[in-house]
A and B are shown apart, each in its own frame.
Chain A
Amino acid sequence: MTTKPAIRAEAARLYAAFLAAGAAPVEADILLPADTMLDLYGEDIRARAYVTHDPLRGEMMLRPDFTVPVVQAHMAHGADPARYAYMGEVFRKQDHLGNRASEYLQVGFEVFDRAAPEAADAEVFALFCQCLQGLPLRAVTGDIGILMAAVRGLDTTARRKAALLRHIWRPKRFRALLDRFAGRATMPPARAQLLEKLAKGSPAALIAEAAPLIGLRSEAEIAARAAALIEDASAKPIAATEAAMLYDLLSLQAPARAALDHLRGNAPLLPAIEPAVTRFAARLDALDGRGVDTATLAFEASLGRTTMEYYDGFTFAFVGPADLPPVASGGRYDALTAVLGQGKSIPAVGGIIRPNLVAALKGAA
């Protein structure tokens, strides 16, 4: 059993290392307004975070992670560029019996920098490598930016691309949509019937025939979706070569340099990914420059596709025993800063380490 003082000492060591790497210390409230988190993460966060009610401030949440408050603080009054370090408790409800902590320390490092994003990616990853050196961990990297570029470059309707991008962090639904758009899944019978009816009558007539319209969703909204369905039905399936390229990308796992060669080989089939592949290459060079062996570094193109993070570029994780969460994880989240920045945005990359797991690994060694 790792004691709390041992965990706090480990956290202090990591925090000091982050400060020594040039970060400014940043603090965040423990009690946060729930609405921003709910808007961002949706109902999923309700299952994971402690939500409580304040008589004056409405729904509040015990800090489930530092990303949102740190980004908000930076957007409000941060220097540009900036490097931040933080250390503090986060709170996560556990929905399964077991030994996962519902209150634990996180130590984090975040870089907000407009210049040379690949260099910033490499800086963060190399710093984490250095902090975790000697522990029995497997480092894995990924790049969601390549997948997003591939989707944006598909030869299909804007609506289909938007639908795929909306679900980029929900692998199962993304896959179902891709199967349908690529003509691999059959159309549900009710959809076929609806299209048949829409071919004969107007949406307004069909709605009137169905039932009295109740609720906030208007006839115009229903008609707009019906029009979208008609458009979608006439769109040709995503070409087999492009679809194959995407399926290949979803399951791509290889050492980073081999993955780069593989992607370069595929790029002519989907030229839109070339800029993203070039960035991937630049990142590997930057990592090499910092002493990371990219010939053996693990790469998984889908790493970090979860709605609780919203990564949209480089991702990484340091994985220990299989029954535990990653000891450290992070990535690039440029788009998140735009969502939280009310019109402003800044490229951002960072990650967290869980000192309780580090201390446990050291204790076991």
Chain B
Amino acid sequence: MLKIGVPSKGRLMEKTFDWFGARGVAMARTGNEREYSGAVQGVEGVELVLLSAGEIPRELAAGRIHLGVTGSDLVRDKLADWDKQVAELSALGFGHADLIIAVPDAWIDVDTLDDLDAAAGAFRAAHGLRLRIATKYHRLVREFLTTHGVADYQLVDSQGATEGTVKNLTAEAVADITSTGETLRANHLKILSDGLIHQSQATLYAARAADWAEAGAVLHRLAKQLGLVVPEGL
């Protein structure tokens, strides 16, 4: 049996079902609408596992599911050396969102990471604390800022309503996902011109650590049906 993890609710689930459906693999939830169980038709030997999108990277890394659909932002943030733990089978073309760094619109002197770094240095000198950036994407943001040599900042955890943290004085800047930028604008925030950290979209991943002894054959059948190439090493 090949286990495929799919987001358990919302647009991400619907779009995933649509994507597989358009390629002859019918996925559906079964039971009543509150029950998290599903079925797959069109390819023998595939079991549908409905999971929170945020947990799919972890389940892939542990090899408890063979395939999984989730945002590339989540995989890259939650998994160290993500490309050694999972293989990308296909980007799915929906769930687009950009992980960006944004600062208050009123910061007329800040447009680039270079400006942010200089502002952070002055901010620390004036306030005695490192400039706070609210985010839930700790690994991606830290790696990005380290690569670009930004100093005197700290990450503060924000699991929701991140755009409100500046007004609430719990952060000076934010690093969050945005698709249209409307929430940022409504909260008087602007995106740094070189502050794009990652362009995320829903992606189908294979778990390198999963047991492929029996599932391997199913993967090749499924990949053929979906018109995908099986990555090396699986």
Of B84, B105, B167, chain A has the most CB atoms within 10 Å of the CB of: B105
Bound Cα distance A163, B110 (Å): 16
Bound Cα distance A42, B121 (Å): 12
Q: Main secondary structure on chain A at its contact with chain B? A: helix
A172 touches B148 (CB 8 A): yes
Q: Is A47 an interface position by the 8 A CB rule?
A: yes
The interface size bin for chain B is 35 or more
Q: Is B179 an interface position by the 8 A CB rule?
A: no
Of A96, A216, A224, chain B has the most CB atoms within 10 Å of the CB of: A216
Sample of 18 A–B contacts (CB below 8 Å): A42-B152, A43-B130, A47-B142, A170-B149, A170-B151, A188-B112, A190-B193, A203-B109, A206-B108, A207-B106, A212-B106, A214-B104, A215-B167, A215-B171, A219-B106, A221-B123, A222-B107, A222-B109
Bound Cα distance A213, B105 (Å): 8
A216 touches B80 (CB 8 A): no
Residues of A within 8 Å of B85, CB to CB, are 97
Bound Cα distance A219, B109 (Å): 11
B151 touches A167 (CB 8 A): yes
Write the chain A residue with the least CB distance to B119: A225
Q: Is A210 an interface position by the 8 A CB rule?
A: yes
Bound Cα distance A167, B143 (Å): 17
B108 touches A217 (CB 8 A): no
B81 touches A95 (CB 8 A): yes
A331 → chain B, closest Cβ, in Å? 20
- With contacts A207-B106, A211-B105, A216-B172 known, is A225 near B118, CB below 8 A? yes
Q: Which of A133-192 contact B (CB under 8 A)?
A: 163, 166-167, 170, 172-174, 176, 188, 190-191
Bound Cα distance A228, B122 (Å): 11
Write the chain A residue with the least CB distance to B167: A214
Residues of A within 8 Å of B119, CB to CB, are 217, 221, 225
B108 touches A42 (CB 8 A): no
- With contacts A95-B81, A212-B188, A224-B122 known, is A42 near B151, CB below 8 A? yes
A217 touches B118 (CB 8 A): no
Give me the 4 closest cross-chain CB pairs, A-B, nearest first: A173-B149, A211-B105, A190-B111, A170-B149
Q: Pick from A166, A170, A217: contact of B107, CB below 8 A.
A: A217
A147 → chain B, closest Cβ, in Å? 16
Residues of A within 8 Å of B110, CB to CB, are 225
Q: Is A229 an interface position by the 8 A CB rule?
A: yes
A214 touches B108 (CB 8 A): no
